[in-house]
Amino acid sequence: MKLSAPLFKLKREARLLARETGCPLHVALDRLARAEGFGSWSLLAAHHEARAPARKVLDRLVPGDLVLLGARPGLGKTRMGLGLVVEAIRTGERGVFFTLEYTERDVLEGLRAIGAEPERLRDAMGLDTSDQINAGYIIRQMREAPRGTVIVIDYLQLLDQRRETPELSVQVADLKAFAEARGLIIVLISQIDRAFETSGKALPDLADVRLPNTLDLGLFTKTCFLGNGEIQLATVGL
């Protein structure tokens, strides 16, 4: 949801409203937030904070990209993935979230946590929590997706958890070919190995990706690593 004015201007309006009406500042802030379509100022602020990094990342992605999004648990990789989907929708593109990890209820709660309103996204956002999710399944579901669609997959290490699915390297290669052929942006959320915690590095890199099965990480066109409040987006091979 796009705000009618930058956050700092809304705060200024709230201060003026508080002076003019004699109400406490927090009441004025909540009143302005409701006018912007949020239940409270805290929800509006959370939406703004979550959108800013996702918007910056999405601005640097192009159709055909296959992106690895990695972080240790609790550092915001799922939040970033959901933020990318929401930002894609905000810019007029389609956004789809495939997850083998979370239930639909979990995802809806995650959207609310970043200040998005699931009810307003219902017609624009795709959400798939099927146990059948793998590269072939995603390609079949997205075969008619328009160019520029943002697809987020949660997560990489679960794609080949069933015996009958192709090995991970084959699936990732298929997803890359599909993204390039259809002009899609595909983001795979990835776990980071526990050994990173003792590496002394500020942010993980490709060497820290947890790989229970063989995978050529050079298949990815870009990486996005999160840690210590930082985001590092890079082109693979550069």
pLDDT band at 219 (very low <50, low <70, confident <90, very high): very high
Mean pLDDT of 39-68: 85
Contact call for residues 174 and 159 (beta carbons, < 8 A):
no
The yes/no answer on whether domain 52-235 falls in CATH 3.40.50.12780 is: no
Q: Give the Cβ contact number of residue 76 at 10 Å.
A: 19
Within the chain, all domains assigned CATH 3.40.50.300 are found at: 52-235
In order of 75, 155, 165, the CA distances from 110 in angstroms are 14, 15, 29
Instruction: Check whether 98 has a pLDDT greater than 90.
Output: yes
Mean pLDDT of 189-218: 95
Which residue type sits at 7? L
Contact call for residues 82 and 110 (beta carbons, < 8 A):
yes
C-alpha 189 chain-centroid distance = 9
pLDDT at residue number 119: 87
Say what the pTM is.
0.81
pLDDT band at 238 (very low <50, low <70, confident <90, very high): low
Assigned token pair, 156 = 């990489």
Mean pLDDT of 107-126: 88
Contacts (Cβ under 8 Å, ≥6 apart) of 22: none
Beta bridge partners of 230: 227
Beta bridge partners of 189: 69, 154
Give the residue with greater pLDDT, 115 vs 190. Answer: 190
Q: In which element (H, E) is residue 83 found? A: helix 77-90
Assigned token pair, 237 = 């091979």
